[in-house]
């Protein structure tokens, strides 16, 4: 092998970097939203991966990373396959009947390996790290938590258990009530909220819980609202996954792992081909992306994304304090 391969390899690396820079030019200014007009990403996600369109702001960045990682994998597969077939032909026994202890030069393979390393570093630095840093950004999570006090944001606690999903919201006071692992049980109190001997919440507890997320009792999420999830598990490791939201986060016992998103009205309408917003909301499936036991395949739940006014109405109706007041008024 001669030194002519070196400038070719350098050119290949420069080309890969240039390709990433071109892709980055599809980023809309002052946002972290991928330009949805990119035909390659839309076609690949819809027709190749059979994935529903994203309905969150960061969703297009996730799609973009998936597509370009697979493109790199495809290039590597084709390249190494060609090289493998070349080696079979070039070093066949009829062409080399006697072994050569020195062997062929390793310049070409070394350069190729460095090209792969550089390309992977560029992909990680340009796609994976910025994307992940954005969706778990502590400053944004703190901003959402503060905004929740004025209805400009929302914090939801998600709990996985064999084999369903639970959710917890702050009540009308916008504060999460006291909880303890000593009060928790898999029956009626998975979050360990403070209850009296009769099983009723104490006076200072107005948290709203969805103890099993089903079609009839889904986890509710408002449209056009920054939402921060804090995800944990009651037993083994689970993984909270909602594909259209492009959200997938492990649920680990003893840890509250954060992630945030914003389900946009326009993306929701586009995903279903609607001209108007569905007043009854958009329903999506929650799955578990970690093998968690013999009931793993049945560990599903429901998320429902509704207009902000519908969500506020649901919160008011479900609040324990408000329910008590309504009951007293009825008497």
DSSP state of 201: B
Q: What is the pTM of this model?
A: 0.78
Residue 198's pLDDT is what? Answer: 56
Domain residue ranges of the chain, discontinuous segments joined by +:
5-135, 153-330
With left for phi above 0 and alpha for psi between -120 and 50, is residue 300 left, alpha or beta? Answer: beta
Residue 328's pLDDT is what? Answer: 43
Neighbour order of strands in the sheet with 164-169: 208-210, 164-169, 154-161, 226-233, 257-262
Q: Give the Cβ contact number of residue 41 at 10 Å.
A: 21
Rounded-to-5 percentages of helix, strand, coil across the chain = 45, 20, 35
Burial status of residue 276 (CB atoms within 10 A of its CB: 0-12, 13-18, 19 or more): exposed
76 Cβ contact partners less than 8 Å away, ≥ 6 residues apart: 116
Closest to 157 in 3D by CA, of 284, 299, 258 = 258
Q: Greater confidence, 306 or 41?
A: 306
Task: State both tokens at 237.
Answer: 């490791």
Question: Distance between CA 293 and CA 32 in Å, rounded?
Answer: 37
Task: Report helix, strand or coil for 212.
Answer: coil
pLDDT-derived band at 232, boundaries 50, 70, 90: very high
Q: What is the pLDDT of residues 174-188, one digit of tens each?
A: 888 888 887 787 667
Residue 251's pLDDT is what? Answer: 96
Identify the CATH class of 153-330. mainly beta
């Amino acid at each position: 092998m001669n030194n002519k391969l070196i400038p070719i390899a350098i050119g290949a690396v420069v080309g890969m970097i240039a390709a990433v820079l071109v892709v980055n030019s599809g980023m809309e200014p002052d946002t972290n939203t991928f330009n949805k007009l990119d035909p390659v990403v839309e076609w690949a996600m819809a027709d190749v991966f059979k994935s529903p369109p994203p309905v969150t702001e960061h969703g297009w960045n996730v799609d973009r990373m998936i597509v370009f990682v697979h493109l790199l994998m495809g290039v590597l597969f084709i390249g190494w396959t060609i090289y493998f077939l070349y080696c079979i032909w070039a070093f066949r026994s009829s062409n080399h009947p006697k072994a050569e202890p020195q062997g062929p030069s390793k310049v070409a393979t070394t350069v190729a390996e460095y090209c792969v390393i550089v390309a992977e570093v560029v992909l990680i630095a340009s796609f994976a790290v910025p994307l992940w840093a954005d969706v778990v950004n502590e400053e944004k999570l703190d901003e959402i938590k503060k905004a929740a006090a004025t209805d400009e944001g929302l914090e939801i606690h998600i709990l996985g258990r064999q084999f369903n999903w639970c959710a917890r919201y702050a009540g009308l006071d916008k504060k999460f009530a006291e909880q303890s692992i000593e009060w928790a049980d898999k029956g009626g109190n998975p979050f360990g909220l403070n209850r009296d001997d009769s099983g009723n919440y104490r006076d200072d507890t107005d948290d709203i819980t969805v103890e099993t997320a089903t079609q009839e009792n889904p986890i509710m999420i408002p449209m056009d609202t920054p939402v921060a999830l804090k995800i944990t598990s009651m037993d083994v490791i689970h993984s909270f996954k909602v594909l259209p939201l492009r959200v997938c986060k492990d649920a680990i016992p003893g840890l509250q792992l954060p992630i945030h998103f914003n389900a946009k009205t326009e993306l929701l309408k586009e995903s279903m081909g609607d001209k108007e917003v569905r007043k009854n909301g958009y329903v999506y499936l929650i799955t578990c992306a970690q093998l968690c036991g013999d009931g793993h395949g049945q560990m599903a739940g429901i998320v429902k994304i509704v207009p902000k006014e519908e969500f506020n109405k649901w919160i008011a109706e479900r609040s324990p304090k408000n329910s008590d007041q309504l009951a007293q008024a009825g008497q």
